[in-house]
Amino acid sequence: MSDEWDEDTHATDVEQIQSKLAGERNRATLTVITGSATGRMFKLDGAMTIGRAPVCEIRLDDDGISRNHARVRCDKDTTWIEDLASRNGTFVNGEKIIAATKVGDGDKIQVGRSTVLRFGFADHLDESFHENLVSSALRDGLTKLFNKRYFMERLDSELKFAVRHETALSLLLLDLDHFKQCNDTFGHLAGDAVLATLSGVLSKAVRNEDVVARFGGEELAVILRAINIDGAIQTAERLRKLVENTVIETGGRKLKATVSIGVSGYPSTPAKAIQELIEAADKALYRAKNAGRNRVSR
């Protein structure tokens, strides 16, 4: 084997590494900076459609967004966006576009009435940092559910959408039964394990478009879009049974828990503000607990 320095081979290796790193750095992305999906980052690849339809690669459900609203297309070195005859138009940096328009790093794209996306470039480190930042801002540290701040903002957006489009919206408030007793008997670590485990179970048991959040303490909340009050009661009963049948392993013990659930919904509750919807669900929750717990009430 020769120990001689091969400058040509070395130069080729460096170029390949630099090309790879440049490709990683130049990954085009769209990040939602306002709207119900604030913080979400979409990696762009080829042609992708923005809209409310389930088949859209960039699916956004905010008010004013058409089912197939706009298309973003990434060529080798250039990214374009075009409006797909949407009802409210597509805007780049505040200007309504009428033809395919080139976008550059930092450009703001508005779709619908309240959703703005930022176009930019990111590498895997940027993406990891972004995911951690968004998670810490929107998620509860223990349960990994959405936090109350996000829940309130999302519920407000969903109620406005439901009122404007005359569609159904339901809310579940869930309270773990005798949770203080669990903490007092087995310790707070066991209580944390119960809350974290059941939060994970509930998150997997609902649709992707539903929102599960930690409302406070041992109280959780679920937003059910386009589900009327009767459907919400059925969903709540399914979740109640799921919690009842879940075994939580912690500290060498196997624990079980139950949950009481209050249900409210629009338009059965003619709410114009989220406080009215929350109050109706909260009253239903107290009825469930006063009736003996481990049950659903409306």
Options 218, 237, 249, 276, the catalytic residue: 218
CA 52 to CA 59: how far, in whole Å? 5
Place of tokens 């690669």: 57
pLDDT of residue 17: 47
pLDDT top residue among 279 and 251 = 279
Alpha-carbon Rg for the chain, nearest whole angstrom, is 24
pLDDT of residue 235: 98
Task: Quickly state the pLDDT bin for 268 (edges 50, 70, 90).
Answer: very high
- The phi and psi torsions of 24 (rounded to 5 degrees) equal -65, -40
**70-116, pLDDT tens digit by residue?**
999 998 789 999 999 999 999 999 999 999 999 999 999 999 888 99
In DSSP terms, which residues pair with 74 in a beta bridge? Answer: 79
Q: Is 93 left (phi over 0), alpha (psi -120 to 50) or beta?
A: left
pLDDT of residue 21: 45
Asked if pLDDT for residue 181 goes beyond 60, the answer is yes
* 218 in catalytic set: yes
Asked if pLDDT for residue 24 goes beyond 70, the answer is no
The DSSP code sequence of 174-221 is EEETTHHHHHHHH-HHHHHHHHHHHHHHHHHTS-TTSEEEEEETTEEE
101-103/169-176 β-pairing = unpaired
pTM for this entry: 0.69
Sheet arrangement for strand 169-176: 211-216, 219-225, 169-176, 259-266, 296-297
Asked if pLDDT for residue 1 goes beyond 50, the answer is no
**Which of 28, 10, 13, 294 is closest to 174 using CA atoms?**
294
pLDDT of residue 69: 97
CA 155 to CA 36: how far, in whole Å? 9
Mean pLDDT of the chain: 88
Task: Tell me the HSE value of 256 on the side-chain side, using a 13 A CA sphere.
Answer: 10
